[in-house]
Structure 1
């Protein structure tokens, strides 16, 4: 088993944190001590923009939702050194999944969100909230199966700051036809907690949620556009 130094650096000018994480000869991340995980937790929480973890020649961005401090998301960055692009996709995905599970006590970020969502859905949830949640469920889709041929930045969820496994489109405001792709579980969490729209700060309603078939990517505008004639 090999050892690689991991470097974390936040967006702000803060002293760097060095950790030594065990990886095998193929770069696969192995068990990380609870002390190392706690250090990661603290560093990410103290940097609103997240931190970058360098593991060998690969870099990963770890972020924490300010509204959900126990939610950690891990995504590969576009600023990798070495031969990240030559590594098999499955290896990058395995590293990302392993990192997320270790940061979230054995659970993926989506599983953490779903657990929190379950606790926030008592039978007393208003009909209005239930309606929005129902529309999200009706409009969500598996992002990978959609086979979007556009830059990853346009597929990044404004809440989790990563590309969702199960996405749903929502308008940036009721006065705009511009849409963003959201992690469906994260958006349901936002609705269940009656938090405002992440971009417009409006109350999230069913009118914000758009079926995938009514959205298209406009390369000229660099955004998804709602093109349906009605909601």
Structure 2
């Protein structure tokens, strides 16, 4: 590696979250402000805690006065803060900190994640109504729509679990809301929270049902009055 390459490697890199590039616009940061922030981060990582507007503007396409104005705006908007620092000799000095930027970025990230989750939940709920109408072959009644809303909002069932309960009702040949409600009740009582658990529980139940039917059939041949088998979903 030649000398120039060594110097290039020694310059190092700056580390910034990808979220900053994704959300700086939503945080009301323009491109000039973003580049200035990147230069401040670079100076801080190199050990210069309080770069001057002249030092920063020398790396940008703006004047020193423009750089000063941008710094002032970033401080006013709460992205950069000037803190006091002290040397080993106890001499006080000023330094930039970008902790406020990271805090605002975290808040913006969480806000966007919550918005995306809300949008996805609303989409899942709309899909849920569509799936039910397709299986029932008709529009849902107001009472049925209200029941679906109660499952989601009051009982806190995930849409995917409700769809799984609908599937169980279809397999059992008992396509009605009371039957589906009973399935969801039993699943919640038994801690069923994922689609995998629901499938496993449904398979075990059907196996037990077939076994019980065979057992009851055998007992009917030896007993005049056989006790009928009731499963936990029977209405």
TM-score (norm 1): 0.25
The structure, 1 or 2, with the larger RCO (C-alpha pairs under 8 Å, 6+ apart) is 1
Q: By percentage of residues, which structure has more strand? A: 1
TM-score (norm 2): 0.25
